[in-house]
Structure 1
């Protein structure tokens, strides 16, 4: 347990370090899925490791200490008491961060759903009479696409097709679930921030590729991104656009080259890396159970 219980933290750093490279070299759909899966498993293993570290404080419980002294037994100390205390504090912080992340996600979903109020249930496209160019997908059942009149007027007909295909890809492939999962993983383990950043970029690249396939023109797709970004910049530089955020320059450059390969061996390696923290936490759990059995019997 002395080493295994810390492996999720160490492997979190490794996953965070390699995630940008994976995002650049592997097809966006595959990379987004494997990185999100690895992040969720790693975050769960990290939280469980903190639970194990906190559980070692049972050695210092007064009844346990008194019984050990009466029996003349020496209590094993798998980790220093200070580590157990820090783990307890970390668990409290993780719980607070998760609560805040869930509350923020729920608030965002409710705000987006309110934008759809008053429209028929089968309406896919909602056009808002707003001078601010915006376009984003609203997940739900059914999913909706909200586009402002300013955004539509700034785009040519083929570019509007790109925009709608992009947002439909977000809804069809449930990209909001991937981003939410990565966000919750980061709330549990802040070391995974680079993974979430990569995943949020990859879902945009994924939607870009689906839009390019739908219109059959990668150049037109890149042009739509560029025009929307320039329009947003003229109107309101701080405006956050779903269609034109997430490093637009990199997305445009990617559309001007061939789609990246799937590279299944790399994806398998990332998934394997994601399982290692779970294996380390499982081994540490066995060690702790044996320790508790010797202390409490």
Structure 2
């Protein structure tokens, strides 16, 4: 209990260090799925450890202390009271952050649904008259692609094919739920923020690779990314495919070389790293229950 309950927090830091390395060396589809899974499990484990630390305060509750003394049993303090109180404050912050993130996600989904209101059910592409170059996928049934007139004007016909293929990849592979899961994990455990950033980068890289495969030209895909990035810079606003991201140069460079390998061994190691906090949290749970029931029995 004394060590297992704290170790998941340390492993969160380790996962955050590993995430950017995996994002740069492993195929984006595999890396995105693995990092998201590891982040969700780790966030759940660290949240549970906070609950355990708060629950450990039960051992210091007056009725428990009194009964233990009447039975002649020695009290074992699994965690200091100060640590338990700090865990309670942290747990309240986790609940607040997750609730805020969920509300933000719901607001975004409602706004996206309003953009699609009044469109025929079989309409995939929605073109909006706007001077701001934007394009993004709108998940749903059916999924939609919203593109502004400024975005279409900034790209040549071949580059528009890249744009649409990229957004279709987001819809086909359900990148929205992946990013949402990573975002919720980072809300529950702020130490996982770098993992969330890596997942956001990876789903864009994943869509880039799908677009390059669809048009059959990696260099043409890179040129479309570069042109859209320039358009975003002139507009000073968010553009299609997260082009204002600092990672755009890495994405363009990645399209100049062969796709990264699958590297299942690295992916398996990261999955094991993500599973370890859950195992340690389970072990700490057993230790705490043993202490509490030992006192009460």
**TM bucket normalised to smaller:** over 0.9
Deviations 1:43-70 (A, max 9, x none): 0000011111111111111111222222
Q: Which blocks of at least 5 consecutive residues in structure 2 are unaligned?
A: none
Q: What is the Cα deviation at residue 248 of structure 1?
A: 1.3
Distance of 1:163 and 1:284 partners within structure 2: 49
**The residue matched to 1:122 in structure 2 has which SS?**
coil
Aligned to 1:184: 184
Contact 1:132/1:150 (<8 A) preserved: yes
Aligned to 1:110: 110
- In the TM superposition, 1:234-249 aligns within 5 A as 234=234, 236-246=235-245, 247-249=247-249
Q: Which blocks of at least 5 consecutive residues in structure 1 are unaligned?
A: none
Aligned residues: CA RMSD: 1.0
Distance of 1:258 and 1:106 partners within structure 2: 38
Indicate whether 1:149 and 2:149 are aligned.
yes
Distance of 1:291 and 1:72 partners within structure 2: 15
Q: What is the Cα deviation at residue 72 of structure 1?
A: 2.9
Distance 1:230 1:256, change over 3 A: same
Aligned to 1:295: 295
- In the TM superposition, 1:1-20 aligns within 5 A as 1-20=1-20
Contact 1:225/1:243 (<8 A) preserved: no
Distance of 2:250 and 2:109 partners within structure 1: 28
Distance of 2:239 and 2:125 partners within structure 1: 20
Distance 1:243 1:162, change over 3 A: farther
**The residue matched to 2:257 in structure 1 has which SS?**
coil
**The residue matched to 1:209 in structure 2 has which SS?**
helix
Aligned to 2:130: 130
**The residue matched to 2:227 in structure 1 has which SS?**
helix
- In the TM superposition, 1:56-75 aligns within 5 A as 56-75=56-75
Indicate whether 1:256 and 2:256 are aligned.
yes
Contact 1:232/1:239 (<8 A) preserved: yes
Contact 1:40/1:185 (<8 A) preserved: yes
Contact 1:135/1:243 (<8 A) preserved: no
Distance of 1:133 and 1:283 partners within structure 2: 52
Distance of 1:13 and 1:167 partners within structure 2: 32
Aligned to 1:216: 216
Deviations 1:224-268 (A, max 9, x none): 01111111222x213343352442111111101111001110000
Q: Which moved further from structure 2: 67-76 or 20-29?
A: 67-76
Aligned to 2:27: 27
- In the TM superposition, 1:250-289 aligns within 5 A as 250-289=250-289
Deviations 1:6-31 (A, max 9, x none): 11101000000011010000000000
Distance of 1:74 and 1:243 partners within structure 2: 60
Contact 1:163/1:243 (<8 A) preserved: no
Aligned to 2:50: 50
Q: How many residues align?
A: 296
Q: TM-score, normalised by structure 2?
A: 0.98
**The residue matched to 2:137 in structure 1 has which SS?**
strand
Q: TM-score, normalised by structure 1?
A: 0.98
Distance of 2:162 and 2:142 partners within structure 1: 21
Distance of 2:101 and 2:84 partners within structure 1: 25
Distance of 1:180 and 1:48 partners within structure 2: 20
**The residue matched to 2:6 in structure 1 has which SS?**
helix
Distance of 2:41 and 2:211 partners within structure 1: 31
